[in-house]
Amino acid sequence: MMKTDNPQKLRADRVWLSEETCDLDDFRRVAQKTTALVDYPNASAVEKNVLIYDSRKVTAAATGEGKRLVLAEICEAFGEGPGVVVFKQAYEDTGIIDRASAIFEAIIEEQHRTWTGGGDHFAKPGANDRIWNSLEKHCLADPENFAEYYGNAIIALASEAWLGPSYQMTAQVNRVNPGGAAQSAHRDYHLGFQSSAVIEQFPAHVHRLSPVLTLQGAVAHCDMPLESGPTLFLPHSQTYVPGYLALKRQEFRDYFEANHIQLPLEKGDIVFFNPALFHAAGTNRSADIKRVANLLQVSSAFGRAMETVNREKMSARLFPALKALRDRLSPEEIANAVAACAEGYSFPTNLDRDPPLGGLAPKTQAQLMREALGEGWSDETFTAVLAEQAQKKLS
Ligand SMILES: [Fe+2]
């Protein structure tokens, strides 16, 4: 390309990124960085450039004054660090995972029986089974298991570290059957789901914004040895700003093919990663492992989630379960379950009917649920007030 010293042209090149100006040498410089364990004092190891955390250790460190330190460390691990973190044994009690797997299996069987379930944006029919919006389906099917599952400290810690409070949880199950082929390298929602023609219409700061609007996670529902095809990652690739466009070019895809890494997971591990990290599900070469992961997509309070979730319906279903579990779950676990279920942000709303009394922001669904749990409301009262609040937010 022609070099220019025309200031208007230089500005336009800064603001408008293009597929054509992506440079493999620039990319190589960021993707070849090494993750140094010394920079992450709460981590246990670096394996293939990925940070490994012992969940019990990091949860213990994230109490009291230590919490801000741990959140900051994890935040930078997703940001300028490798962009991908494995939390080993995030579920010490894998019985919680097994119960959830049984619920998912029943939902998949029902989808097969009724020919519902629809298509998949990344795979051929039959190679895998998807449960879209597994979050809501899980909660409605078994709210007690949902509470234990999403009461998990690591899910809350990673989500808060990257997105701050009031995040919006969504989830989808992916079961890749033996023979299921690898996905092609991609970035995730938002810009990762658009064509170059669309992506090029967004100014550069939106390319930087997209990765902070969501966090990707995967809960391993079974042991995933390499032959079963756990996710392929390219650590540090999230820091290449024009990466949404670069991935449309063959040389960058070839670089991914040659340099990606893959780590085996055990049931109960959770991997979280920056949505701008280059990644792809692997090929399932095993004879008999149905590789099951619950894919978490956590959205910022300020973003639009990909899926519609009926949080009012979920909250009404979860409320009695949380009351029943009060002796078994800690207050933090209950708060985590509420955060994964109820809407945590005040807006959008109808300010005529839902004025911000006593503050700048009207009460959220999550605040209402916490209040009702604290004051021991009856299920009927909670459901009625919940419906009234939802009604007020409509125009
Ligand atoms: Fe993905």
Local structure of 348: helix, strand or coil: coil
Which CATH number characterizes residue 261's domain? 2.60.120.620
Residue 193 belongs to a domain: yes
Residue 118 has a pLDDT of 62
- Asked if 50 and 140 touch (Cβ cutoff 8 Å), the reply is no
Q: Residues 195, 260: one domain?
A: yes
Residue 294 has a pLDDT of 98
Q: Residues 293, 381: one domain?
A: no
Q: How far is CA 162 from CA 74, 80, 217, 366, in A?
A: 8, 12, 12, 20
Q: Residues 102, 248: one domain?
A: yes
pLDDT tens track for 315-340 = 999 999 999 999 999 999 999 999 99
Residue 324 belongs to a domain: yes
Q: Residues 334, 220: one domain?
A: no
Half-sphere exposure of 186 (CA within 13 A, CB side): 18
Q: Residues 287, 317: one domain?
A: no
- Encoded tokens for 271: 């991997």
Residue 49 belongs to a domain: yes
Write the DSSP symbol of residue 327.
Answer: T
Which of 299, 334, 360 represents a domain boundary (last residue)? Answer: 299
Q: For residue 1, is pLDDT > 60?
A: no
Q: Residues 214, 68: one domain?
A: yes
In this structure, the strands spanning 168-176 and 291-299 are antiparallel
Residue 4 belongs to a domain: no
For residue 187, how far is its CA from the centre of ligand 1 (angstroms)? Answer: 6
- Asked if 27 and 240 touch (Cβ cutoff 8 Å), the reply is yes
The packing angle between helices 331-341 and 153-163, to 10°, is 60
Residue 123 has a pLDDT of 61
Q: How far is CA 115 from CA 101, 104, 109, 111, 118, in A?
A: 20, 16, 10, 6, 8
Q: For residue 360, is pLDDT > 90?
A: no
Please give the Cα distance from 56 to 62 (Å, whole number): 10
Contacts of 161 (CB under 8 A, 6+ apart): 70, 71, 72, 74, 75, 78
For residue 380, how far is its CA from the centre of ligand 1 (angstroms)? Answer: 40
For residue 129, how far is its CA from the centre of ligand 1 (angstroms)? Answer: 15
For residue 280, how far is its CA from the centre of ligand 1 (angstroms)? Answer: 6
Lowest mean pLDDT among 68-77, 179-188, 219-228: 179-188
For residue 251, how far is its CA from the centre of ligand 1 (angstroms)? Answer: 20
Residue 185 belongs to a domain: yes
For residue 272, how far is its CA from the centre of ligand 1 (angstroms)? Answer: 11
For residue 274, how far is its CA from the centre of ligand 1 (angstroms)? Answer: 10
Which of 299, 334, 351 represents a domain boundary (last residue)? Answer: 299
Q: For residue 214, is pLDDT > 80?
A: yes
Please give the Cα distance from 88 to 266 (Å, whole number): 8
Phi-psi region of 372 (alpha: psi -120 to 50; beta: other; left: phi over 0): alpha
Its pTM stands at 0.96
For residue 188, how far is its CA from the centre of ligand 1 (angstroms)? Answer: 5
The structural domain count of the chain equals 2
Residue 6 belongs to a domain: no
Region 190-213 average pLDDT: 97
CA-based R_g, the chain, Å: 22
Q: Residues 46, 188: one domain?
A: yes
Please give the Cα distance from 245 to 4 (Å, whole number): 23
Region 384-392 average pLDDT: 97
- Encoded tokens for 41: 């004092």
Residue 326 has a pLDDT of 95
Q: Across the chain, what does the average pLDDT equal? A: 95
Q: Residues 57, 148: one domain?
A: yes
Residue 75 belongs to a domain: yes
Residue 179 belongs to a domain: yes
For residue 214, how far is its CA from the centre of ligand 1 (angstroms)? Answer: 12
Region 80-92 average pLDDT: 98
Asked if the peptide bond before residue 203 counts as cis, ω within 30 degrees of 0, the response is no
pLDDT tens track for 236-254 = 999 999 999 999 999 999 9
CB-based neighbours (< 5 A) of ligand 1, an ion? 188
Q: Which domain holds residue 72?
A: 16-299
Which of 299, 333, 354 represents a domain boundary (last residue)? Answer: 299
Q: 272 or 3: which carries more pLDDT confidence?
A: 272
Q: Residues 291, 355: one domain?
A: no
Q: Residues 270, 339: one domain?
A: no
Q: Residues 290, 327: one domain?
A: no
pLDDT grade for 227, boundaries at 50, 70 and 90:
very high
Q: For residue 2, is pLDDT > 90?
A: no
| Beta bridge partner(s), residue 50 | 47
Type of residue found at 244:
Y
Q: Residues 147, 191: one domain?
A: yes
